[in-house]
């Protein structure tokens, strides 16, 4: 785990994808980019290892943010840990409703269906949308292999989105990213600042273009 909360190379692709999906949900609710802290990433990692389903995290985070707005509380939530008690209470309640030893997502992934749902979730504004959608739907292999291929496609998609930005749009995104980076002051090394700038840029792009995290764990991949 790096100083800015970015997962280390030792983290699995599945862990990382779960983290990114939670980060996407959290940042969308917050309404502005934010790098999760190492402590926040540890919370997300624990949820993943315990089998906390993303649909539950999504629902509870939404409820926490909504209740805060209803109370008129000033300031933005800046830590996933703020929401952890509510998520873990909901998870405890859910586990009481299922048989001992079972997981809430006991059924195996229907990988093909999730890939089709993920491909369909790409918005019309996605650069080269049809090509990316076809490539996502065509991914094959066991879940770890699929996750690794989707992670590579996700990076490629984000790079394409950056390359497609017009001048004014890029300037706006750069300004938003630099504002978020300013909160770190001089605490980041040059290498950490460069990685953080890239992550924040991708966060803003995901929100503006409504791009899902390309992962079997993304809410958009859920088959209803």
Query: Considering the domain boundaries, does residue 6 fall inside one?
Result: no
Section 185-212 average pLDDT: 86
Residue carrying the six token digits 């605490």 = 187
61-65, 73-77, 88-92: segment of lowest average pLDDT: 73-77
User: How far is CA 97 from each of CA 59, 157, 214, 223, rounded to the nearest angstrom?
Assistant: 17, 39, 31, 22
Q: Cβ contacts of residue 84 below 8 Å, gap of 6+? A: 43
Quick: pLDDT tens for 116-169.
999 999 999 899 999 999 999 999 998 888 988 998 999 999 999 988 888 888
Section 35-45 average pLDDT: 88
Please state, for a pLDDT cut of 70, what percent of the chain lies above it. Answer: 88
Query: Considering the domain boundaries, does residue 170 fall inside one?
Result: yes
pLDDT class of 207 with cuts at 50, 70, 90: confident
Res 160: pLDDT:
93
Query: Considering the domain boundaries, does residue 8 fall inside one?
Result: no
The model's pTM: 0.72
Res 220: pLDDT:
87
**Domain of residue 139, residue span:** 13-221
Q: Cβ contacts of residue 14 below 8 Å, gap of 6+? A: 48, 143, 144, 147, 217
Res 208: pLDDT:
86
Query: Considering the domain boundaries, does residue 71 fall inside one?
Result: yes
More confident: 121 or 9: 121
Query: Considering the domain boundaries, does residue 216 fall inside one?
Result: yes
Query: Considering the domain boundaries, does residue 2 fall inside one?
Result: no
Query: Considering the domain boundaries, does residue 4 fall inside one?
Result: no
Res 158: pLDDT:
92
Query: Considering the domain boundaries, does residue 22 fall inside one?
Result: yes
The count of structural domains within the chain is 1
The dihedral built from the CA positions of residue 199, 65, 208 and 131, taken in this order, carries a sign that is positive
């Amino acid at each position: 785990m790096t100083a800015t909360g970015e997962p280390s190379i030792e983290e699995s692709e599945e862990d990382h994808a779960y983290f990114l999906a939670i980060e996407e949900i959290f940042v969308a609710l917050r309404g502005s980019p934010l790098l999760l802290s190492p402590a926040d990433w540890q919370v997300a990692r624990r949820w993943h290892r315990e089998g906390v389903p993303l649909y539950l995290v999504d629902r509870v985070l939404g409820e926490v943010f909504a209740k805060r707005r209803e109370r008129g509380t000033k300031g933005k939530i800046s830590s996933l840990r703020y929401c952890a008690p509510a998520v873990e209470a909901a998870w405890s309640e859910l586990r009481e409703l299922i048989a001992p030893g079972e997981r809430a997502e006991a059924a195996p992934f229907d990988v093909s269906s999730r890939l089709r749902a993920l491909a369909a979730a790409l918005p019309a504004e996605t650069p080269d949308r049809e090509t990316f959608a076809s490539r996502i739907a065509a991914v094959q292999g066991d879940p770890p292999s699929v996750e690794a291929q989707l992670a590579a496609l996700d990076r490629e998609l984000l790079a394409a989105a950056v390359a497609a930005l017009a001048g004014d749009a890029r300037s706006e995104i750069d300004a938003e990213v630099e504002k978020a980076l300013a909160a770190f002051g001089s605490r980041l090394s040059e290498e950490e600042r460069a990685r953080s700038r890239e992550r924040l840029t991708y966060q803003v792009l995901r929100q503006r273009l409504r791009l899902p995290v390309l992962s079997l764990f993304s809410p958009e991949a859920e088959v209803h």
